[in-house]
Structures are given as C-alpha cells and as structure tokens.
Chains A and B, each alone.
Chain A
C-alpha cells in the first residue's frame, strides 16, 4: 500500500478526532511500522485495516462509513497534489474511465512497485459507467468514497451501486449512474 494512503489517513484522523486519538491508535494498533509512514514509501496494506478497526473501536462509527469518508478525504488530497488528472477530464465518466487507462499507468512511472487496483470499464455512456473493480486489498468501499468525492469535484450528482462478484470483495461491479438534480 502506498505511503500516501497512510499519511492522508493519519491527517484525517488528526483533523477529525485529534492528535490524542491518533496517538492512542498508533500506540495500541500493534503496527509493524510503529506508525512511521512517508508518502514515498510502501507499506503492508493490512496496517490500514488495523488502524481503521482501532478507530472504529474508539469512535463507534461503522467501519464502512469510516472507509468511505476516508475515500472522500483521500480524493481531495490527491487532487490537490496531482490536479493534472482531473484537469484533463471534461466530466466524471471520462475521468473514471481514465483511472485504468491513464492515471494508474502514470503512477507506475513514479512507483514501479505500486500494487494498484484495476478498474476495467464494462460499459460507458454519457450518464453511466460500469467498472469492474479487482484488487487483493478488497477496498471497493474506499473506491466508492473516492468516486463520490470526484463527482462533487465535477459537480455531478450520482448514485453508486456495488455488487460483489467474489464474496471476499476482491472483484466487484461498481455502477455509477448520473442522476438529475
């Protein structure tokens, strides 16, 4: 898992729950990295799960909500650092389609060891895109948050439906439908 995911997660926790909560999570979550992350590094993906579980314990907020909220937060941060990807896309559907075909290839240029999820386009119209999510990380919920946040950026109203193709969540069909306001 890329370090930026960890550093952004920490930042969100600090902003929303305070440094004490973050400190508590780090101290109690039994992290191999001791909570030391840098955006340019790569870390064990299971540590994300440990951090989110701890946060759930402390805050009592459901894990799925936490992950989706983090997805929304992560999109804004990434878009701030790498605005070129949204800039070149005229709308949400085009942007979503470009994840697999353009954004991820660009990521690989900087981090050849990155293990990124696949978003294959199954179907696409002006108002609909069906993506097939495939990842060992099984974090389609994070993707859902990211997509919603992206829709906000493009100022488009959408509904997202997720259907698991594999029960463990490693393959999921994500249907993004534009809705009228």
Chain B
C-alpha cells in the first residue's frame, strides 16, 4: 500500500523544501535580483544571481523611462489570448489521444494528459520557470573572445534567480520597472537586446507554463493503455525538472548556450516536439509492450473524438505559434505584430497542407483515405511548422506542410514494420515531425537570418544535443521508476482496462 503513495510523498517533500526555501529567501532578498534589461545579458551575463545594477543598463534612465508603465496593450492582449489557446490544447490532446484508445482505457488517457496541469503548474511556479528563464545564470562557461578581443557572452546552461522562487518578485508591492508595472517586463529570448516586447513578464511566464504543461503530456501517447498512473505522475514531475527546464533554457533563454550559438526554434520544434518524441522513444525501448502486441486488436474506439481533438489542437496551435512571436520579442519585421501574422499564416497553411498530403500518401500506399489519417496529418503538419513558423515565408510553409504530412505518414508506417509498440505514434508524429521541422527551418528561414548550409548545420547540432540529452535522461528516469515502483500495470489490470482498475470509473455504460 505504501508503495502506491511513494510518488505523492516524494512530490510533497520536494515541494515543501521548495516552499521553505522560497520564504527563507524572502527575508534576505528584498529586491528581486533583477531583470537586467536585455541589453545586459548579451554582453555581461551574470554568473551567480548578482544584484549588479552597476554593470547592467537596468539603471540607465532611458531604459527605465521606456519601461515605466508602457506595456503594449496589443501584444499583451494577444499573448493573454494565446496563453489561453495553448491551454485549450490540453483537452484537445486528451480527446485526440483518448479517441484512439480502446473504450476501457479512455479515462486513464484523459487523466494522464490532464494530470500534467497540476504537476507542472506547481513545479513551474516553484522553480521551473526559474531554471528555464531566469536571466542570471547558475551554470555558465566562458565563450572566449571575439575577433576584436572583446569577451563573448557567456554560455549559460541553467538559470537561477532567487527572486523567482515561487514567483516571489511578481508579488512585490514595490514596483520593479516603473510606477505602473506589476512584475517585470519580459526580457527573455530577446534576440537583439534592443527590443522590449511590451509584455509583463508574469504573462510571459504563464504563456511558457502552458508549453511546459503540454510537453510531457505528449509523451504519454507512446505508452498508452499500459502505463501505471502513479508512476506516470512521478515521471512527469522528474522529466519536467530534469529534461524540459534545462533544454528550454539552452534554446530559449537569452543566455542559453544553444540560443547564443544561433540555433533557431521559433515555437518549440526541439524544445517541445523533439523532446517529447525522443523521450517517447526511450520509454518504448525500456518498457514492455502491451500484452498481445503486435497482432491483437488495438482499434481506436472513437475516431470522432480524435478528429474533434485534432481540430481543437489546431485552434490552440495558433496561440502556440503566433503567440510565440510576441512572447519572446521575435518581431523580426519592422511593423509590430507582423511576425505574429506570418507565424499564424504559416501555421494555418502547413497544418492544412499536411492533412491533405498525409491523406493522399495513405490513399496511394494503403488504398483508402482515412479520417484518422486526415486528423493525424494535420497534427503532423502543425508539429513540423512549429520551429519554422515565424522564420519562413507562406510559400515555404506550404512546402514544409506537404513534406511533413508525407514524411510522418511513412514514419508511422515504419513503426508497423519494426513492431515497436508506440501506442499512439508519438515518435512518428512528434519526434520525426519535430526533428524534420528543426532541420527544415535551417533551409527555409528568411528572417532574421537566411537559411543555408551554416544554419542547417547549426540546426543539426541543436537537434543532436537536445535529442541525445533527452534520450539519456529519459532512459535513466524511466529505468529508475520501472525498477522501483514499476512503470506499467500488471496483466489483470491491463486486461480489465485501466479506467476501472486504476481509477474506479467507466467511460461508457449502457443504461
């Protein structure tokens, strides 16, 4: 019995330590250790959470004046909507996955997706956002000097700002950036150091929280219909901390070492989809297959739900991609919000094109066009365009979508050949699609840099580093959980169905 509670107890301990530390620092750290406005980190990345007003231009009057109560209402509104849209992807994903399960496992699938909301939310507030997006760096290395003998910006591997523990500095009564500011103005991901996004950092933190929530949820499709719920909860907490936060920092933080190198990832091709896909692959390799696979009858019980979910995902994806334009100061175009429009268009075009190309590929190869194929193709196209969205032209988005649908279709077919039990094709759609998008952006990018061989090889580097890191960490976490509390359910539970055995509920009844 106690074994069942271990994950919860572990989570509780983790949290109570976190809360304790948060309040302890409250006493000492009156002023949040600072948001050096983006100019700073480019030249002077603080190594250990310094309150260093001298070096950083935070204190210089023009910036301060600029920030005083000048949030951009357009950007802020769109990002508020976008954050809500990304959250809308959670029930979308639950329906998308749930429809593909058998009727006896639907509710478990819903639960595995939705439980990421509380777990990652708490983790994100406690320390996750801090690890990923704090501007002060906890671990940074020198990058040497450039041609003129000036120190290059340090390469950061992990962020840490004591003021961000439990979002302390967002609750400060003393204004941080100006008389009308609530919390700090976002600086993270600001590519040039010259753009203020005009968005309160707390909103940025919430928007990014939605990303952190949905990423682990994507993984569960690979081990659907056999995962033990308690083990899954523990996995989500550990994976979000060990895999997601650091990689998010590398790729998206203004000091992150991959970001500094120039690796492009507009809205999460590597951070979200490659991480989820590669981790799914790792879990498939170390965990047992569903009993009876391959050969047994693992038919989707409600394609309608899956299609409804796919539609909800696409709606949410507009926030996911077009919101990313505003969130992290990626307005490459001279007119405010234009990048968001480009990202929106690319998202709509690629998702639509891929649903068509998957359907045609399936029609030619398997003989019939299926509705599941159209829904899967749409999601595949959205995955592929994610890292490219604001970087490419609409014509390229069309091409990327068409390629994405076909490639992911064949990736899913390949799974049937090698008999991996990737229950709902997370590797084929998110892993392959995310990797494909991360590479294609190196070729098709037109802003802020042109695609080409150099950018492509950078993208390959970024992909390999994040992929290998996620793979190794997931193997370790997964094996640890499987050897201790067990990651999959026993034979009887699996036969009876996870809904009844794990949750004491049934999705459907006749009367």
Q: Do A and B bind each other?
A: no
Residues of chain B touching chain A, judged by Cβ–Cβ distance below 8 Å, are none
